[in-house]
Structure formats: structure tokens, C-alpha cells
């Protein structure tokens, strides 16, 4: 099916006005297909022509205004309609195919009990895999859904349930929503219900997770209620979609999706093993993020995908903010500084960078690729900067006016800026131009001079890449931190500064101040920029970092350090040494997790094969010291144990833990930690197929199935690699999650000689994978399967040859382009 272009969407929106979809699905046919009967009611300019997206296995019948349509009306995934009336009714009955890629109607068989589950995901351009649809965001309509399902199943949808008896489920019509927001789940789901402030609440998970859902439901409901209350305090329009259901579905591609009335999450959020507090915080933030979409995206929807930031940037900002304001997880901005902003900064420096709000997104293929760290994290960071600039009261007034003006409709960047400009009294045109319409990131450096005891000058120097020379206004904090005689560290002074776009901003407030042990630029993490400290402050970081009492300040320092290593400005050995010195004293779990994860990744790619073993041993020592210093049974202990497992080469110790011997007091070697140990043993050649198979028999669950696939691919065995590669490239029967896990286990820094022949095969054979997989599944598989540990000039040469192909799939082009840029940095760092 061709990608829908913006020009086509604009022309179609000028031609038709869609009122209603009446959809009846039959899920009792068994096998690989299901039945779909749809009636679409829409207005049109008389005599005009248009089309709907539709990809059936076969058509039983099609009629337009009661007259049969010929088979020839369906061409290349589109139903072509001509001679339209002012009021039209299209009726289609067809056989459709289930998906195993997380798109369309995804079908999953649970290995725990053989139960079948399906969920609908029509995101961006997949509505035609379920029903004929005008599949673009600005053609909103009401959806009335009916489903025939096996008698033991439960079905839920966006709209309220009218009746559900004897396998027949009927739902009331929804408010007007975009096609990509229509959804349902079906299967023997376990349900937990509650109510809050007049809003019915429900949670759903697979039957195999019933006990876990019951255990997690109190916290999920608590967070849901707290977030609803806070959004009702901030927004004038109450939650607009009736009931608020949250379903946890198997093999869901996203972390979650904001379907109005039925939010769907990946079911890994229903924890079956011990997790850290940062993981629970992440779930709370995702709940708040998806709830923000009920207003930003569902109530008011972007007119086209170039305004994706109106959905994702706002939800990212509001989700982080509301979780901090309304729930017990008050440290979400530390997590944002450490994790999310780093994601945005990396994406913004890749060759595929784009503005937060691009001037044009030409088609839906390009739109899919923009669901990245720029549209989410950079956009959220930019919004945080905007709120700091115009003030929270003006921001809230502006968005409420925006909702009131466009409720149940569509809007654009210009619409929102107009509302915010009016509420704040500021002209936001120039701000939007440099922050939303232009790509890439600035670097801010502190330059100081002193007379030895007091500052004579403090200057913030701003720079930009040559290819993206835009300088921007920044609102940020500068903190002066001193080490006290008792060994503690405290912030003596914090000033907020408006950095102009001249490239050099004086900070007269600090002239004459006593020289600090550490001058922290962007203290409070208010702006979006790469941060570089002055030489004296840089030298003080190893001493000061473990003593800083402010977790957000530590996150800013760690993020700046990691970024400097990624850029090759500081050696990876320095990072490893800093981790060894500072991590054992780190109390913020998300910092522990991210530093261990990022350091391990950088050691694998930035260290040479000769220096890597020693560097990895220091990472293991840092985790081991943290493990010894952690409270038994706490989050820090679990994070340290995971970091140690991932870095150690001590197979005997890992084997002891797996057997229940010499386990640190309080550490639960539960299902998930066991798999992490088995995975590391498989990488090191100490867990063969019999160990992996036995572990899967012990844990015959969805998670166990995925871990087993990853472990088999990780083994240092030629036959295992050949089988894994064949699965990645050519096995269309594998589900999205299983192929992604197989790809993620394939490349190992310990196995360079074994996997070297597959480097050339990636560039030769990955285009074939894109012919059997589509969308996000294709992108994630291509990314996970990239030979990123093969840091050699030959890898870049092969990438260049593939990129020279003008017909290369755009998904693969972007994956290779960005991965090759990461490899360029690694090669430069090694040299």
C-alpha cells in the first residue's frame, strides 16, 4: 500500500466529511484471519472522487449507496470511489489477516496456557488492515464497534459497553476521534475495576498475569486517581471520554498508546519480579503521559503529522510534571535530565535530525520516523523552557483557551502559539522559529576568570554546529557549590540567567563572588543544551560529585560527563574511573542504572579490544562496591546486582547465584534476575542450549519465551548464530517481540571474531527483512541487529555503499545513517 502523502490528505479533507464508522468484527473464525463488516457514513462534494485505505485478504462484497462496487475499485490497498453524493454510505464485508508485528489486529498465543489474545493498533497508517478507513488525523468520526468473540473472552473498546453476553459485545458510539485512536482488546483478560470522581476505572491483563495484576492494581489505581485529580485542577475541561480503562497487552510495540477510554500499555508494566523504584516511577510517568494525551492529542488532535509535537512533546512534559506534582514519585525531573533529555540530545545530533515542529512531513512513512527523542524529549525540554519564560499561569491559560477553541477537532502549531501569545502577552513567533522550526542543539560553556579568590568575570559562551548555526535564547540557572570543612557540599548561590543569542552572555551577578569549588551551569536543568564546565569545575567533579546532596544537580553533572565521552572530548577510561569513585555513594537509583548502562555500552564500543577487559572489570568493581554498600532488599541493591551481572566475567559466581548459593542477603534471585544471569552466562559460553531450555521449562511464560530467544542468539556458537540470523532476516512467523529479542542478543563484544562474517551480511540482507516486516517492528529489528560492536572502518564502508542505494527503504536508511554516525564517534574516540 502506498504511503499517504500530505498533499493527498489535504485534498481528501477538502472533499469529504466523515461522520461515522459502524464496525462489526468476527473473531471466532480461528486461524490467521478474522471477519470485518464496516459501514462508513460520510458527506462529500457531489460528483467528486476519493479513496479509503483497505488491505483485505479477500472481499465478500462492497457497496456504495446501495450499489455494488466492482473488484477493480480496490487497487493497491485503496478503495477508489467516484461520483459521490452529498451524503454517502460505503458498506464492506471482507476477510482480514491477523498481524504478528504489533500493527493492525495483533494476535498472540500465550505460552503459559495457550490462550489467545488480540489487540487493535491502527497507529498512523494501519487502519486499513482492519476496516476501510479515511486514515488521516483530521478526518475525525464516531466509531460504533461490535465484536463476536469466543464465549470465554472479554472485549473492551473506546466506547462504553452496551451489552456483552454469549460472546457478542456491543459498544456505544465514541465521541469524534481520529482513526489511529480507535482500539479494542479481546481475549480471556483478567479485569480489576474501581471508580473515582464519577469515572469508571478498569485494568486488564492476561489471565496468566491475574495474580500480578491484583497485586499491582492498588498502586496503578492510586496513581491514576492522583493524576486525574491534578489534571482536573489544571485543565478547565474535565476528562472527556467517559470511562478510563487501562489494558496491559502482550507484545505491544510502544510503551503505551493513548486510545481514549482504553489506554493500552505493554504488559511488562505488570511486574512479576522485583523491580527498582525508578522502574515504578517510570510506570507512573507513563500513566501520567498517556493521560495527558486525553487532552493533548485525543480531545484536540494535530491536523497532520508535522505537528506531532502537539501530541508527544506536551504529553512528555506534562507526564513528567504531573507525576512529580501528584504522586509519590517526586524525582521525575531527575530522571528526565538523566534519561529522556539524553535520548533527545543524541537524536538531535544524528544525521537524521529534524525540527521539533518540521515545516513539512511529506507522508506517513516519514511521520513514523519522527517518533523519536526529538518529538518526545527535546520537545518536552523546550516546553519546560517556554513555561519558565512565560510563567505557569500564562501557560495554563493558553492551553485551556486552546482546548476550548478546538475541542473534538484538530489544530496546528499556529493555533496553539496564538493562544499562548494572547495569554502571556508575548509574541512567540521568534521563539518558535529558533526552538521549534530549527534542528540541532547548542553547546553552553562556562568561561571564568578570577583574581585567585573572587570571580572577575563569568561568561556563558554559546556555540552551534557549522551546519546548523542557530543560536537561541536560554533561561537557566548557575549554581555555586562549595565543599565545607565538615566534608559536605552545599550550594552557596543560585542565579537565574537569560542567555541571549549573541554567543556570549556576561553574568554580572557573579562578579566579585568568592570562587566556588564547582560552578554548575544549567543548575536545575531548565534549558535544553549540551553543557560544558570550566576547567577548574571539571577537575573538581570527581571529588564533588559523590558529595552533592541534590540529585538533579548530580544528574546534570553525570549527563554532561557522559555526553562529553560520547563526543570524544573525554576518554572512556576517565568515565570508568569516575563511576568507580562516585557510584558506590550514589543514592538515586535512576542515576545508578543509567550510569552503569551507559558506561557498559561505551566500554563495549569506545574501548579497544585490548583495553576493554580491564575497563569492564572496573565497571564490575563499581557495581560490586555499590552492591556491598546497599541496603538488603532495596532498589539500589537490585540495580547494583543487575549492573554486576552485566559486566562480570566471573561465571562461577553467577552460577552460584543461579543455584541459590552466596547470594547477597535481601537479593531475590527471582524469574527476571535468573534470566539476566542465564543471558550473561550464555554470552560467556557458560550456558548451553540445555541450560536455556531448562530455564524456559521452569519459566514457561511470555517473558521466559522472549528471554530464551535472546539467550539462544547470544551463545558463542556458529550454529546458534546461523539460526538466529536466519530468524532475524527471513522468519515471518516470528512475532515482533521475539525477533527483536533475537536481534538484541546477536552482537556481543566478547565474540567479535565469531560474528565478523555477519557484518557484510547485515548490509546485504537487511533489505530483505524490510520486505517481510513493516513499521516499528522493522525499525526496531534493524536497529537491534546493527553491528554496533564492530567498530572498524570496514563497517562504515559497507554502510556507505548501502546508503548510496537511492531505492533503499526509508526506515533502513535512517537506521543505518544514525548507527553509522554512532560508529564514527566510536572510531574517533578510539583514535
The residues annotated with a catalytic role in the active site are 290
**How many Å apart are CA 367 and CA 347, to the nearest integer?**
15
What string of H, E and C letters represents the secondary structure of 202-263?
EEEECHHHHHHHHHHHHHHHHHHHHHHHHHHHHCCCCCCCCCEEEEEECCCCCCEECCCCEE
**How many Å apart are CA 221 and CA 422, to the nearest integer?**
37
Beta bridge partners of 410: 301
DSSP-derived secondary structure letter, 513: P
Identify which of 348, 278, 830, 344 has the alpha carbon closest to the alpha carbon of residue 602. 830
Cβ-contact 182, 127 below 8 angstroms = yes
**How many Å apart are CA 164 and CA 155, to the nearest integer?**
8
User: Grid coordinates standing for 579?
Assistant: 563511576
Helix (H, G, I), strand (E, B) or coil at 21: strand
Which residues have C-beta within 8 Å of that of residue 52, sequence separation ≥ 6? Answer: 40, 78, 79, 81, 90, 128, 132, 133, 134, 135
**How many Å apart are CA 523 and CA 479, to the nearest integer?**
6
Q: Please spell the DSSP secondary structure of 620-651, one letter per residue.
A: HHHHHHHHHHSPTTSHHHHHHHHHHHHH---H
Cβ-contact 737, 779 below 8 angstroms = no
Helix (H, G, I), strand (E, B) or coil at 276: coil
Identify which of 759, 743, 752, 670 has the alpha carbon closest to the alpha carbon of residue 710. 743
C-alpha distances out from residue 831 to 363, 465, 572, 577, 824, Å: 41, 22, 12, 20, 11
Which residues have C-beta within 8 Å of that of residue 368, sequence separation ≥ 6? Answer: 124, 125, 775, 776, 779, 811
Identify which of 369, 379, 376 has the alpha carbon closest to the alpha carbon of residue 432. 379
Backbone angle region of 242, left / alpha / beta, with phi > 0 → left and psi within -120 to 50 → alpha: left
**How many Å apart are CA 25 and CA 171, to the nearest integer?**
12
Kindly state the helix (H) or strand (E) to which residue 159 belongs, with its residue range.
Answer: none
Identify which of 407, 417, 423 has the alpha carbon closest to the alpha carbon of residue 382. 417
What are the E-state strand segments in 188-338? 190-196, 199-205, 244-249, 256-257, 262-266, 300-302
List phi, psi (to 5°) of 105.
Answer: -105, 100
**How many Å apart are CA 271 and CA 260, to the nearest integer?**
24
C-alpha distances out from residue 493 to 179, 293, 551, Å: 52, 38, 17
Instruction: Return the exposure string of 228-261: e unless at least 16 CB atoms fall within 10 Å of the residue's CB, then b.
Output: bebbeebbeeebbbbbbbbbbbbbbbbebbbbbb
Kindly state the helix (H) or strand (E) to which residue 363 belongs, with its residue range.
Answer: none
Cβ-contact 88, 44 below 8 angstroms = yes
User: Grid coordinates standing for 313?
Assistant: 512533546
**How many Å apart are CA 831 and CA 828, to the nearest integer?**
5
Composition of the chain by helix, strand, coil, percent to 5: 45, 20, 30
User: Grid coordinates standing for 683?
Assistant: 554470552
Beta bridge partners of 477: 496
Helix (H, G, I), strand (E, B) or coil at 486: coil
Helix (H, G, I), strand (E, B) or coil at 441: coil
Which residues have C-beta within 8 Å of that of residue 333, sequence separation ≥ 6? Answer: 320, 324, 525, 552
Amino acid at each position: 500500500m502506498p504511503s499517504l502523502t500530505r498533499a493527498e490528505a489535504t485534498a481528501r479533507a477538502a472533499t469529504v466529511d466523515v461522520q461515522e464508522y459502524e464496525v462489526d468484527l468476527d473473531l471466532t473464525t480461528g486461524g490467521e484471519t478474522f471477519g470485518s463488516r464496516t459501514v462508513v457514513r460520510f458527506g462529500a462534494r457531489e460528483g467528486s472522487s476519493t479513496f479509503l485505505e483497505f488491505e483485505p485478504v479477500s472481499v465478500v462484497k462492497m457497496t456504495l449507496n446501495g450499489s455494488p462496487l466492482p473488484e477493480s475499485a480496490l487497487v493497491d490497498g485503496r478503495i477508489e470511489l467516484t461520483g459521490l453524493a452529498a451524503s454517502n454510505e460505503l458498506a464492506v464485508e471482507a476477510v482480514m489477516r491477523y498481524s504478528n508485528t504489533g500493527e493492525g489486529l495483533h494476535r498472540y498465543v500465550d505460552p503459559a496456557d495457550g490462550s489467545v489474545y488480540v489487540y487493535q493498533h491502527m497507529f498512523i497508517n494501519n487502519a486499513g488492515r482492519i476496516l476501510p478507513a479515511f486514515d488521516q488525523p483530521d478526518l475525525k468520526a464516531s466509531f460504533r464497534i461490535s465484536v463476536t468473540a469466543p464465549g470465554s473472552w472479554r472485549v473492551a473498546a473506546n466506547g462504553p459497553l452496551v451489552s456483552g453476553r454469549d460472546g457478542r459485545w456491543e459498544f456505544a458510539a465514541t465521541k469524534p476521534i481520529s482513526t489511529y485512536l480507535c482500539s479494542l482488546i479481546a481475549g480471556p483478560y483478567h479485569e480489576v475495576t474501581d471508580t473515582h470522581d464519577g469515572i469508571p476505572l478498569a485494568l486488564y491483563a492476561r489471565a496468566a498475569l491475574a495474580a500480578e495484576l491484583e497485586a499491582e492494581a492498588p498502586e496503578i489505581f492510586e496513581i491514576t486517581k492522583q493524576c486525574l485529580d491534578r489534571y482536573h485542577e489544571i485543565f478547565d475541561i474535565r476528562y472527556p471520554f467517559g470511562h478510563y480503562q487501562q489494558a496491559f497487552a502482550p507484545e505491544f510495540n510502544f510503551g503505551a498508546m493513548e486510545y481514549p477510554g482504553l489506554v493500552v500499555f505493554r504488559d511488562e508494566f505488570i511486574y512479576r519480579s522485583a523491580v527498582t523504584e525508578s522502574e515504578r516511577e517510570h510506570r507512573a510517568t507513563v500513566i501520567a503521559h498517556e493521560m495527558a494525551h486525553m487532552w493533548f492529542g485525543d480531545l484536540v488532535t494535530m491536523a497532520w503529522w508535522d505537528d506531532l509535537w502537539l501530541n508527544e512533546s506536551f504529553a512528555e512534559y506534562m507526564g513528567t510534571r504531573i507525576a512529580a506534582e501528584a504522586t509519590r514519585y517526586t524525582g521525575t525531573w531527575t530522571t528526565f535530565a538523566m534519561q529522556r533529555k539524553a535520548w533527545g540530545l543524541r537524536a538531535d545530533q544524528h544525521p537524521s535530525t529534524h525540527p521539533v515542529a518540521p515545516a513539512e512531513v511529506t507522508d506517513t512513512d516519514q511521520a513514523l520516523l519522527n517518533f523519536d527523542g526529538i518529538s518526545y524529549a527535546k520537545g518536552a525540554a523546550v516546553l519546560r523552557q517556554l513555561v519558565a519564560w512565560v510563567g505557569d499561569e500564562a501557560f495554563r491559560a493558553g492551553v485551556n483557551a486552546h482546548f476550548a477553541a478546538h475541542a473534538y477537532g484538530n489544530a496546528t502549531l499556529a493555533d496553539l502559539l496564538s493562544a499562548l501569545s494572547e495569554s502571556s502577552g508575548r509574541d512567540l513567533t521568534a521563539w518558535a522559529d529558533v526552538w521549534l522550526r530549527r534542528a540541532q542543539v547548542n553547546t553552553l560553556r562556562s568561561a571564568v576568570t578570577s583574581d585567585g579568590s573572587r570571580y572577575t568575570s563569568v561568561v556563558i559562551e554559546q556555540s552551534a554546529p557549522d551546519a546548523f548555526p542557530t543560536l537561541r535564547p536560554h533561561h537557566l540557572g548557575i549554581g555555586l557549590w562549595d565543599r565545607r570543612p565538615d566534608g559536605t557540599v552545599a550550594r552557596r548561590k543560585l542565579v537565574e540567567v537569560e542567555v541571549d543569542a549573541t554567543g556570549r552572555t556576561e553574568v554580572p551577578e557573579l562578579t566579585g563572588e568568592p570562587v566556588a569549588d564547582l560552578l554548575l551551569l544549567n543548575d536545575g536543568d531548565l534549558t535544553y543544551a549540551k553543557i560544558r564546565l570550566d576547567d577548574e569545575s571539571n577537575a573538581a567533579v570527581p571529588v564533588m560529585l559523590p558529595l552533592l546532596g541534590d540529585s538533579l544537580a548530580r544528574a546534570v553533572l553525570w549527563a554532561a560527563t557522559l555526553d562529553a565521552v560520547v563526543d570524544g572530548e573525554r576518554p572512556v577510561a576517565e568515565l570508568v574511573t569516575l563511576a568507580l569513585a562516585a557510584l558506590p555513594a550514589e543514592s538515586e537509583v535512576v542515576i545508578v542504572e543509567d550510569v552503569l548502562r551507559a558506561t557498559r555500552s561505551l566500554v563495549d564500543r569506545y574501548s579497544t579490544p585490548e583495553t576493554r577487559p580491564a575497563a569492564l572489570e572496573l565497571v564490575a568493581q563499581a557495581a560490586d562496591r555499590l552492591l556491598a554498600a546497599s541496603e538488603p532488599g532495596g532498589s539500589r541493591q537490585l540495580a547494583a546486582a543487575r549492573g554486576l551481572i552485566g559486566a562480570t566475567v566471573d561465571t562461577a559466581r553467577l552460577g552460584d547465584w543461579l543455584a541459590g548459593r552466596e547470594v547477597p542477603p535481601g537479593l531475590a534471585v527471582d524469574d527476571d534476575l535468573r534470566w539476566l544471569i542465564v543471558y550473561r552466562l550464555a554470552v560467556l559460553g557458560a550456558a548451553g542450549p540445555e541450560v536455556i531450555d531448562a530455564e524456559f521449562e521452569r519459566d514457561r511464560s511470555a517473558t521466559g519465551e522472549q528471554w530464551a530467544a535472546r539467550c539462544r542468539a547470544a551463545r558463542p556458537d556458529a550454529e546458534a548464530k546461523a539460526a538466529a540470523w536466519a530468524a532475524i532476516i527471513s522468519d515471518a512467523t516470528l512475532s515482533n517481540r521475539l525477533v527483536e529479542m533475537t536481534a538484541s542478543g546477536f552482537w556481543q563484544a566478547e565474540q567479535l571474531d565469531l560474528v565478523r562474517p555477519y557484518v557484510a551480511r547485515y548490509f546485504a540482507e537487511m533489505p530483505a527483512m524490510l520486505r517481510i516486516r513493516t513499521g516499528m517492528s522493522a525499525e526496531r529489528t534493524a536497529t537491534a541487529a546493527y553491528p554496533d560492536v564492530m567498530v572498524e572502518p570496514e563497517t562504515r564502508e559497507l554502510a556507505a555503499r548501502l546508503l548510496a542505494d537511492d531505492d533503499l527503504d526509508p526506515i533502513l536508511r535512517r537506521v543505518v545513517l544514525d548507527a553509522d554516525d554512532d560508529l564514527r564517534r566510536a572510531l574517533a574516540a578510539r583514535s
